Amino acid sequence: MATHLVWFRNDLRVNDNLALAAACRDPHAHVIAIFIATPRQWLQHEMSPRQAEFIWQHLQCLHTSLAERGIELSIHQVDGFDESVEYLKNFCEARKVDALFYNYQYELNERRRDAAVEKMLGREVVCQGFDDSVLLPPGSITTGNNEMYKVFTPFSKAFIKRLHEGLPECVSAPKAREGMLTEPDKLTAFDYPLQPVDVNLFPVGEQQAIHQLRQFCGQPVVDYAEQRNLPSIDGTSRLSAYLAIGVLSPRQCLHRLLRNHPQSLDGGTGSVWLNELIWREFYRHLLVAWPKLCRHQPFIPWTDNVVWRQDETQLMAWQQGRTGFPIVDAAMRQLNTTGWMHNRLRMVVASFLVKDLLIDWRCGERYFMSQLIDGDLAANNGGWQWAASTGTDAAPYFRIFNPTTQGERFDVKGEFIRQWLPELSSVPEKYIHTPWIWADKQPLTLDYPRPIVDHKQARIATLAAYEAARKPQEKDDEK
């Protein structure tokens, strides 16, 4: 009897799991599964304690789901990726594994790890990898010159055209196999800092995630275009946490959306959320085409010449939500408290750090990863490089958000601000975005800081810094 091993990574589900389904296709094979925790690698990548807890919770759910299907899940811990390669080789030898099944990860270190595994296992174990965390494989959407797109809009059009030609199929969860595990082994938690997850925001379990997807693809996705930019309204899906660790697949999201709103592919209801799914794909495809994005390098070379300010005090004020700009501070406190931030506000706070404080975007990228429950290298890096005007399809460097007017536009009455900044509860609606102006007229003192930077002056300084960085590039282009 052949022994098939499923190597779980960021695909912690039994439904629509391409590697798991392939391993179970042979009804006579003995199927086992493994998850290898790598705390040192997670620490180097700034994985947040909340995401680590979310992974642990879903590993326990996966453990139960697999046991019900007669599949044993082993969890082991090693320091990093190098050790995981050696451990996997020894595990395959000990369990007499004939074939290894896994779903691709697209980050550079992960791809190198997988290549090392295949090389070490050699001909002894057949390795089969799958493009599971994407709708379409990286490298499959290219320009007429067979190159990866550098701009999102033409990529999106080509992507939708491919979806019209044929949708990626979902696969069913495997049926129960002979020898059901009535009493699966107890799991031992991995050695990594864990932080509680708010189950009201992020209920645990694959079925809970599927339920949340179905709920969102009803009326909320209809209202999404109008409500997605309003942080005081629960108008987004919050499915990113499940997608990040693979409790949901993007195919499940696409099929559920099209089942409820078949016109989504043609620009109708649901197309705005579909566009967000395609942005997720775009950033993953970019990682494969330009691996330097995994190495803290900007996509646009000349932007590496920007002279960033080194100001730990202002960086800390931004991290703690004490900048004196209410919409920025409310957003940062939401992140610090819940591990999640509204998408519009991710753009606002990123722009503030880079364009108002002139602090290196990589400082913000790292801090986000250290806090986010939905931390994902491709999406996080892509978002930060967009905000910093250093990436492909980035906002022009001279486009600088005004944090005050962003608050006035997207949190008109200050409802979101009051939720996260209780010290501003007594400030009238007229002054909620400029509380220092109101405070100056009162005999009382607000327990809230004055703005740590003058936006108009900061904008001038930032434009000068970017323009100075461009000059060497312009001279090189003239040669």
The answer regarding whether domain 3-130 maps to CATH 3.30.300.30 reads: no
Instruction: Spell out the domain ranges in the chain.
Output: 3-130, 133-169+206-289, 301-473
Select 301-473's CATH number: 1.10.579.10, 1.10.287.1060, 1.20.1050.10, 3.90.25.10: 1.10.579.10
Q: What is the pLDDT of residue 445?
A: 83
What is the per-residue pLDDT across 77-126, written as a single tens digit (0 to 9) for each? 999 999 999 999 999 999 999 999 999 999 999 999 999 999 999 999 99
- Mean confidence (pLDDT) of the chain: 95
Q: Is 386 a catalytic residue?
A: no
Mean pLDDT of 212-220: 96
Closest CA to 389 of 314, 289, 298: 298
Q: Is 343 a catalytic residue?
A: yes
Q: What is the pLDDT of residue 473?
A: 62
Q: What is the pLDDT of residue 305?
A: 96
Of the residues 42, 56, 279, 386, only one is catalytic, namely 279
Q: Is 42 a catalytic residue?
A: no
What is the per-residue pLDDT across 18-74, written as a single tens digit (0 to 9) for each? 999 999 999 999 999 999 999 999 999 999 999 999 999 999 999 999 999 999 999
As a CATH number, domain 133-169+206-289 is 1.25.40.80
**What percent of the chain has pLDDT above 70?**
96
Q: Is 336 a catalytic residue?
A: no
Strand partners, 77: 37
Residue in the structure block whose two tokens are 């050696």: 86
Residue stretches of the annotated binding site for FAD: 224, 236-240, 273, 276-283, 374-376
Query: Rounded to an integer, what distance in angstroms lies between the CA atom of residue 134 and that of residue 1?
Result: 33
Residues ≥6 apart with Cβ < 8 Å to 318: 328, 332, 349, 352, 353, 357, 359, 364
Of the residues 118, 260, 343, 436, only one is catalytic, namely 343
Q: What is the pLDDT of residue 201?
A: 96
Tell me the whole-structure pTM to 2 decimals. 0.95
What is the per-residue pLDDT across 157-205, written as a single tens digit (0 to 9) for each? 999 999 999 999 999 999 998 765 655 566 677 899 999 999 999 999 9
What is the per-residue pLDDT across 114-163, written as a single tens digit (0 to 9) for each? 999 999 999 999 999 999 999 999 999 999 999 999 999 999 999 999 99
Among 184-193, 266-275, 349-358, 438-447, which is the least confidently predicted range?
184-193
Q: Is 302 a catalytic residue?
A: no
* CB 382 within 8 Å of CB 394: no
* CB 67 within 8 Å of CB 73: yes
Q: Is 15 a catalytic residue?
A: no
Residue stretches of the annotated binding site: 224, 236-240, 273, 276-283, 374-376
Q: What is the pLDDT of residue 179?
A: 64
What is the per-residue pLDDT across 300-316, written as a single tens digit (0 to 9) for each? 999 999 999 999 999 99
Sequence length of the chain is 479
Q: What is the pLDDT of residue 134?
A: 98
Q: What is the pLDDT of residue 394?
A: 79
Of the residues 7, 56, 340, 361, only one is catalytic, namely 361
